[in-house]
Amino acid sequence: MEKKIISTDKAPATIGPYSQAVEVNGLIYTSGMIPVIPESGEIVSGIEAQAKQALTNVKSLLEAAGSSMDKVIKTTVFIKDMNDFAKVNEVYASFFTGDFPARSCVEVARLPKDVLIEMEAVALK
């Protein structure tokens, strides 16, 4: 088993002892991506904008790893308020063409930097 650390400045920098993503045996595992704009460190406001930025960060990280959103096989979505589920779904659907990946979505009490959403993915290389 060979483990490769994936890192890019096109996704938010890590804020702890973890990697942005890891590749093992042809699979890419991303860390949770929050809606931080990588270039400025700013956090966008509103659930739709935050969902779009979080997904954009996941997409950028996957592309840096030599993968893409079309190769995502599983996502996990953490949201602050389950009442935002429909709005998140609308944005989420716009990032995938063809078949959707498997997904879990859970409401959580609190997320880093008090954002409204965090997403992670597992993708084929």
- DSSP, collapsed to helix, strand or coil, labels residue 99 as coil
29: amino acid identity, one letter: Y
pLDDT per residue as tens digits for the range 16-45: 899 999 999 999 999 999 999 999 999 999
pTM: 0.95
Q: What is the CATH number of domain 3-124?
A: 3.30.1330.40
Query: Is 121 a known active-site residue?
Result: no
**Active-site pick, 22, 27, 43, 105:** 105
Predicted local distance difference test score (pLDDT) of residue 1: 77
Question: What are the sequence ranges of the domains in the chain?
Answer: 3-124
Which residue carries 């991506």 as its tokens?
A: 33
Average pLDDT, the chain: 96
CA–CA gap between residue 105 and residue 108 (Å, rounded): 10
